[in-house]
Each structure stands twice: as structure tokens, then as C-alpha cells.
Amino acid sequence: MTMKTNVLKSAAAVLALGFGAGAAVAQDCPADLPTVTPGVLTMSINATIPPRQYIDTSGNLQGLHPDLGREIARRLCLEPEFMNVGFEVQIPGLANRRWDMINTGMYYNPERAQIMRLVPYTVNALAIVVERGNPLGVTGYDELAGEPVGTEIAGFADALIREINEEQVAEGFESMQIQAFNTFAEAFAALGAGQVRAVFGPDATAAWYAEQGAFDVGAAGLNPGLPSAFGFDGASGEVLADAVAQVLRDMVADGTYHEMLGAYGATPIELWDEYSGDIAVYYTP
């Protein structure tokens, strides 16, 4: 595959979701996939973001991303193995061949597209979670001016809330007091303890925590359309990325893709306008 800077490249035989396009038939068991451990699909994950990825009370890995990873591995005739590590080590670990694939709800951004192959599979939006009763009357970003706001460190939400804050300060608003925590679990614990007045993060995660009874969602559906993507090593991951992309097409064709995303309230990729209905599209450096 020819690689060009900031150019959107489609994998071969891209499937148009839901518009009658036929899926290419994948081999039942692709041969000689270049995995770190033969016969195993090793995936990094950061299991701190329910309901997308989390450890349940029995110590089991649960959520949309583990479910997708297990199904992809099954269709590739590989054993799934998850490495639960912090997000900050996942991209270096991929480059150093510690795992085959990043499966942690990683947001697409142009900088990442420069260093790895990205296969988007769902669309995200962000939300603001507040104290029960929404005492600040939060309906958007304006009400957060001057308030302590929590998020997860080094993620897209962290970068975005800081960018929004800078824009508001330039417009004359008081600066938010942004506090970045190691995980969203820590951020929501801080919200429950009154250390912050709101948490900014993924809408599915926001809804999950709000449903636990301690919080309300002040604003949802913010910045919609941002995709999550699986990540593969840009130098050696093309074969495996192709195989996973084909599995996604097959899952769309037999209904598994939409059924699985629907169970978690996730938005299918065809609703991201930039794709015009395409799945398994690569961003490559």
C-alpha cells in the first residue's frame, strides 16, 4: 500500500455499510499472520473506561472493546490475549512488538496517523458529567468557567477541554481549573468527593457513571463524529491490519457488527460523514 502524508487511503474492497454493497469473502483462517506470539492475537487495552472496557467485580475484563477483540480473534482463528496497561505505553509498546494491536478506544488524530495504521470502527461523542441535580446548571462549556474540571490525563478529552478553555479565556471567560487524573475512575471519584465540579469524557462512559446513581449528565453529544480506531504498527502491521479490516467487513455483512455496537449504545462508523458509509478505512503515514 502506498503511504502518503495525511492522505485517506482505503483498504482493498472497502465495504459500504448498510447500502447494499457486498462484502468480500475472507478466508476462514488466514495463514501465517505476523503476530508477536504464533496463534495468539495480543491486544493492549486500558480497562478503566466502562462500559467500553473495564474490570468487573469478579475481576473479569468486560466491555465493547474486549468483545470486539475476542470476536476478531475468533474469526482469525487466533487466541485473544489482552495486556491491560496504561495508555501512555501502548503506542511505544506497539512499535516495540510487545503486542499486535491497540484495542483501547483510541481516538484518531492526524499525529497518530503519521506513526501507525489506524482502522476506525466506531464514532464517539463527549459529555460533561456533574453532581447530582446539576447545581451549576451545566448545559455546555460556558458554565465550567472558573470551576475545577476533571478528565483523564493525556487523552483526547484532556487535550480538547484545554483547547476549549483557552478559547473561552481569550473571549473573556475565567479559566477552568483542569485536573487530569490517571483514569476516568479516579476523575469520577474526585467528582464524588467534591474535588471537581464536573468530569469531561466519552459520552458512553458518562452515561454509565451517571446510571450508577451518584451523578447527572449535564451535556452530552459534544464534538460528535470523532472516530475510535484500532492501531497497528506502521512498519510491519499491514498484513494484520488488512485481516482485521476484512473481519470487520464480514461482521457487518452478517449483522454481528451492528448487533454488538447496539448492545453498548455505540455509534456505527457509517454515521461519520467523512467516511460516506465506508468501514475499514486506513489512515496511513
Query: Can you tell me the distance from the alpha carbon of 48 to that of 267, in angstroms, rounded to the nearest whole number?
Result: 20
Task: Answer whether 223's CB lies under 8 Å from 109's CB.
Answer: no
Q: Average per-residue pLDDT in the chain?
A: 84
181 contacts: CB under 8 Å, gap ≥ 6: 150, 151, 152, 153, 187, 190
22 pLDDT band (50/70/90 cuts)? very low
In angstroms, how far is the first alpha carbon of the chain from the final one?
11
| Calpha distance 279→285 (Å, rounded) | 19
Confidence band for 210, pLDDT divided at 50, 70 and 90: confident
Judge whether 36 and 43 are in contact, CB under 8 Å: no
CA distance 14 to 18: 13
Is residue 26 very low, low, confident or very high in pLDDT (cuts 50, 70, 90)? very low
Residue 18 has pLDDT above 60, yes or no: no
Give the type of residue at 185: A
How much is the pTM?
0.72
- For residue range 46-100, list pLDDT tens digits in order: 998 889 999 999 999 999 999 999 999 999 999 999 999 999 999 999 999 999 9
List, in order of start, the domains of the chain with CATH numbers: 7-124+226-284 (3.40.190.10), 125-224 (3.40.190.10)
Question: What are the residues facing 222 on neighbouring strands?
Answer: 126
User: Using an 8 Å Cβ cutoff, are 179 and 190 in contact?
Assistant: yes
CA dist 93 and 99 (Å) reads 7
Cell representation of residue 103: 484495542
8 Å CB contact between 205 and 50: yes
